[in-house]
Amino acid sequence: MMQTSIAEVCELQRKRRRAHLDIMRLDHSIKQIFILPGIVVAFSISQASLSVHLLFRIVAGIIAMTAIASSNYVLNEILDAPFDRLHPTKRFRPAALGLVNPFAGYAQWLILAASGFGIASEVSAGLLASCFLLWIMGTLYNVRPLRLKDIPYLDVIAESFNNPIRFCAGWYILTMSIMPPVSLLIAYWMLGAYFMALKRFSEYRQIGPERAGWYRKSFRHYTEKSLLNSVVFYAATSMLFFGAFIMRYRLELVMSFPVIALLMAAYFNLAFEPDSAVQNPEKLFREPRLMILLVVCVAFLAVLLFVRVPHLEQIFPRSVAP
C-alpha cells in the first residue's frame, strides 16, 4: 500500500510539472511568425544588409517575444480555469483540471516576463517597448477589472492588437532609424481582427448560444449575424489600409490582392466546419489547402517587396495636385 501511495504521489508530481510546462503553450510559438513581416518589410525599405549579427538579433528577438507570449499564456490559463471547465475542449487544459499550483503559476508568469524583457533589452529599445506592450495587453486582456476578453468587440480588437505589436517587434529588431508605416500597422491589426472574429464565430457555433455566454461574457452580446458583420468590417478596413500602404510605398504589391483575397476566402470557409482549426491557429498546418495558399501568398509578397515592375506606374499613374 505504501509503495502504491508513493508511486501515486510521484505520478501526480510528474503531471504537475508537465502541467506547468504545458501552460506556457510553447506549441503556440508558431504565432511568432507574425514577427517576420515586420523584419521583411523593414529590410526592403531600409536597405539593411544581411549579416551574422543581424541573424543573432532576429533569433534573440523571437526568443524574447516567445517568452512574453508564454508569460501571457500562463496568466490566461490560471485566470480562465473556471471558465475553461465550461468549454467542450478547453476543459481538458491543465489549469482547468486542477493540475496547476496558482502560486507557482504566478511566479512562472513573472519569471517568463522578466526573461523576455532582459533578452529584448540586449537587442533594441524598440523591441523592449514592443515586448512590454505585448505583456501589458495580455494583462489588460485577462485581469479584472478591465478583463477586455469579456467585453464584446473589444475582445477581438484587443487580442488582435498583438499583430501590430509583433510587426513592430520584427521591425525594431532590424532598425530603429525609421518608424513602421502607420497604414500597414492598421492593416495588420485589422487582418488579425478578421482572423480573431472568425475564431469567435466558430467557437460560438460549436458551443451554442445557450452555453456560450456562460463560457465567456462577451458571447452574451454576440449572434452569428453580428459576428459575421464584424468580420466583413475588419476585412474591408484591413484591405483599405493595405491599399493605402501600397500606393504610398510599394505599388508592386497591388498584384498580390487576388492571392490575399483567395486566402481570406478559404479561411472564411474553414470557420464553418465543425470543430474548425480556426479555433486553434496552431493547428492550421493540418489544413493542406490553406497552407498551400499561405505559402503562395507569402511568396508573392516576398518577391513583390524586392522586385520592381516599372509598367505598373503606367497602369496606375500617380495623381498630380493642380
- Digit-by-digit pLDDT tens for the chain (322 residues) are 445 577 777 777 888 889 999 999 988 888 888 899 999 899 888 777 778 888 999 999 999 999 999 999 999 999 999 888 887 788 888 988 888 999 999 999 999 999 999 999 999 999 999 999 999 999 999 998 889 999 999 999 999 999 999 999 999 999 888 899 999 999 999 999 999 999 999 999 988 888 888 888 899 999 999 999 999 999 999 999 999 999 888 899 999 999 999 999 999 999 999 889 898 877 788 889 999 998 999 899 989 988 888 888 777 776 654 5
Choosing from 165, 180, 195, the residue where a domain stops is 180
Alpha-helix runs per DSSP H in the chain: 2-22, 36-46, 52-84, 102-121, 125-142, 154-160, 162-174, 182-207, 209-215, 224-249, 257-270, 288-306, 312-315
Q: How many CA atoms lie within 13 A of 142 on its CB side?
A: 20
Kindly report the pTM of this predicted structure. 0.89
Statement to judge: residues 174 and 243 lie in one domain: no
What residues contact 38, with CB distance under 8 A and at least 6 apart? 166, 167, 168, 169, 170, 171, 172, 173, 174, 180
In 3-state terms, what secondary structure has residue 146? coil
Residue 228 lies in a domain: yes
Give the range of the structural domain holding residue 55, as residue numbers without chain letter.
18-180
Q: Which three cell numbers stand for residue 261?
A: 483575397
Alpha carbon distance 95, 85 (integer Å) = 9
Same domain, 82 and 217: no
Last residue of a domain, one of 180, 208, 237: 180
The length of the chain, given as a count of residues: 322
Q: How far is CA 166 from the centre of its chain?
A: 8
Burial 299-311 (b: 16+ CB within 10 A, else e): ebbeebbeeeeee
Of 180, 195, 215, which residue sits at a domain end? 180
Are residue 77 and residue 171 in the same domain, yes or no? yes
Cα 192 to Cα 188: distance, rounded to the nearest angstrom: 6
Look at residue 315 and tell me if it is in a domain.
Answer: no
How far apart, in Å, are the Cα atoms of 92 and each of 13, 83, 85, 212? 18, 12, 8, 17
CATH at residue 141: 1.10.357.140
Whether residues 36 and 161 share a domain: the answer is yes
Same domain, 292 and 227: yes
Q: In angstroms, what CA-CA distances link 77 with 99, 112, 192, 203? A: 11, 14, 22, 18
The total number of structural domains in the chain stands at 2
Q: Which residues are within 8 A (CB) of 92 and not within 5 positions of it... i.e. 6 or more apart?
A: none
Residue 189 shares a structural domain with residue 88: no
Q: Are 222 and 152 in contact (CB under 8 A)?
A: yes
* CA atoms of 36 and 223, how far apart (whole Å): 34
| Cα–Cα distance for residue pair 120/316, rounded to 1 Å | 41
